[in-house]
Structure 1
Amino acid sequence: MPLIHRLLRLAVGLFAYGFAIALMVRAGVGVAPWDVLTQGLSKHTGLSFGLVTFLTSLVVLVLWIPLRQRPRFGTVANTLSIGPVADFGLHVLPQQSVWWAQGLTFAGGLLLLAVASGLYIGADFGPGPRDGLMLGLHRRLGWRVGVARTAIEVTVLAAGWLLGGQVGIGTAAEALLIGPLVAITLPLFARRRAAAATTGSTPVAVAT
C-alpha cells in the first residue's frame, strides 16, 4: 500500500475514533473503561474531556519506559489527535436524553469506533498509548494479552467509577461488541505485508 494511502487512513481513522468517543459520551448510557476514567478526572479537575484524554496518554507513555516500549508515528499521532477531536465532537453534538436517541447515538458511535479502529490499525503505524501498555505488560512480564487488557481496563474502570465517571449499559456493550466488530472491519482495511500476501493471512495489530 502506498505511504500516502496509509497516512490518509491513519488521519481519517484517528478523526473518526475521536468523534466516535464523543458520540458515545453524548449518548449518556455509559462509555468504555478509559473514557469512564477520563470523565471522572475531568469532573474533578475541571479540565475538558479531550485535554484529560491527552494528559492521560502522556502518563501512559511514561509507563512505557520501564516496559521498553518504543512509540511509533501512529502512537504520537494518536496521542496528539484523539483528545482534540473528542472535544470538537462534544462541542457540536447535543446531549441525548430520550431513550431511542440515546440508543441510536451510542450504536452509531460504536459502529464508527469499529470502522475507525480498522482504518487506524490497518494503516500499520504502531499502537496507541493504551494498547502499547497492554503489549508492554505482555512482552516484559509474560502476561497474556487478554489478562493484561482485562487487568488494565478493570483498574481504570474502577478508578473512573469512584471518581464519578459514567458506567452503564453502554460500558458493557462496548466491552462485549467492540472486539467482534473490529474483527470485521480490520480485514477490510489491514495493510498486507509481503508475507501475508503469500500466505493469505492478515497482520495482527492493535488500536488505541
Structure 2
Amino acid sequence: MILKNKGQIGPRFLVYLIGLLVMSLGIVLLIMADIGATPWDVLHVGLYYQLGLTIGSWSIVVGILILTIAALISKEFPQVGAFLNMVLIGLFIDLYLLLPFMQTPNALGGKIAMFSFGIVTYCYGMGLYISAQLGAGPRDSLMIALTAKTGWKVRNVRALMEVIVLAIGWQLGGPVFWGTVVLSLLVGPTVGVALPQCQALTDRFLAKLKDDKEIYLNRMLKEKNRGAS
C-alpha cells in the first residue's frame, strides 16, 4: 500500500530531483551502450534524425503531447512535478550527452555491462522520482492513468506502451537493435519491482526527517521552559 505523502515539500523535491538525475543517467547509458535505446528514445532519436533539434528537446515536445493525453484519460490536471519532469529530463539528457567521458565501449562485453547498468539505473530512477509524489512525468502519468482506467498490472500497461512507441520510432528511422527488444520486455517488470522498493525507502526517509524535527522542537521547547523558570 502506497501512503499519500503530504507536506515536506523540500525533502520530497530533493528525492524527486535525485530520481530524475538517476533516470536521465540511465537513459544516456542505454543510448551510449549502442545496442538498443529505450523505445521512447528510439522515437526521440528518430524525430531528431528527421526534424533536427536535440534528443532532449524531442523528449520535452513528446512529453507535452503525452501529458495532455494522460490528463484527458484521468480527467485530472497534471501536478507541477509532471511539467518539471518534461523540462528537467530533456535538459539532463542533453547535459549528460555532452560529458567527454560518456563514451561507447569498444568491446561487446563493455557495451552489455553499460546496457545492463543502464536498465537498473533507469528503472530505479523512475521509481525514486515517482515515490516523491510530486507528480509523475508525462510517460509515467500515461502509464498510471491507463493502469487505473483498465485495471491492468503496471508491467502489462508499460509493456504495451513500449511496443507501440517502438514501432513508431522504428518507422522514423530510430536506432532499433536487439537491446531495444530486451528493454521492451524488461522495463515493465523491473519498474514493477523498483517502484514499491523506492516508495518504502522514501517513506522511511520522510518519516525519519519528521521524527528528527519533532525531537529537535521538543528539545528547544524544554530548554525554553527551563530558561523561563
- Normalised by the length of structure 1, the TM-score is 0.80
Q: Say whether 1:167 aligns with 2:186.
A: no
Superposed CA deviations along residues 139-195 of structure 1, whole A, max 9, x for unmatched, are: 55x4735665444322211110111111222223223333443344334431449xx
Deviates more, 1:31-40 or 1:183-192: 183-192
Alpha-carbon offset, residue 109 of structure 1: 1.3
Match of 2:33 in 1: 27
The answer to whether the Cα contact below 8 Å between 1:23 and 1:89 also exists between their aligned partners in 2 is no
| Structure 2 CA distance for aligned equivalents of residues 62 and 127 of structure 1 | 13
- For the aligned residue pairs, the C-alpha RMSD in angstroms reads 2.4
Structure 2, unmatched stretches of 5+, are: 205-229
Q: Say whether 1:78 aligns with 2:85.
A: yes
Superposed CA deviations along residues 58-94 of structure 1, whole A, max 9, x for unmatched, are: 1212323532242112212211111111111111112
Alpha-carbon offset, residue 114 of structure 1: 2.5
Q: Kindly, what percent of the aligned residue pairs are identical?
A: 33
Q: Secondary structure at the match of 2:78?
A: coil
Match of 2:54 in 1: 48
Deviates more, 1:94-103 or 1:176-185: 176-185
Match of 2:68 in 1: 62
Match of 2:211 in 1: none
Q: Any residues of structure 2 matched to 1:189-200 within 5 Å, and which?
A: 189-190=198-199, 191-192=202-203
Q: Any residues of structure 2 matched to 1:1-208 within 5 Å, and which?
A: 2-67=8-73, 68-92=75-99, 93-139=102-148, 142=150, 144=152, 148-190=157-199, 191-192=202-203
Code of the residue aligned with 2:168 in structure 1: it is: A
| Structure 2 CA distance for aligned equivalents of residues 116 and 152 of structure 1 | 19
The answer to whether the Cα contact below 8 Å between 2:159 and 2:188 also exists between their aligned partners in 1 is no
Count of residues in Structure 1 that have an aligned counterpart in Structure 2 = 192
Deviates more, 1:162-171 or 1:13-22: 162-171
Structure 1, unmatched stretches of 5+, are: 194-208
CA 1:172 to 1:70, structure 2 compared with 1: closer, same or farther past 3 Å? same
Deviates more, 1:107-116 or 1:179-188: 179-188
| Structure 2 CA distance for aligned equivalents of residues 170 and 58 of structure 1 | 27
| Structure 2 CA distance for aligned equivalents of residues 52 and 108 of structure 1 | 24
CA 1:133 to 1:118, structure 2 compared with 1: closer, same or farther past 3 Å? closer
| Structure 1 CA distance for aligned equivalents of residues 198 and 70 of structure 2 | 27
Code of the residue aligned with 1:49 in structure 2: it is: I
Larger Rg: 2
| Structure 2 CA distance for aligned equivalents of residues 135 and 115 of structure 1 | 17
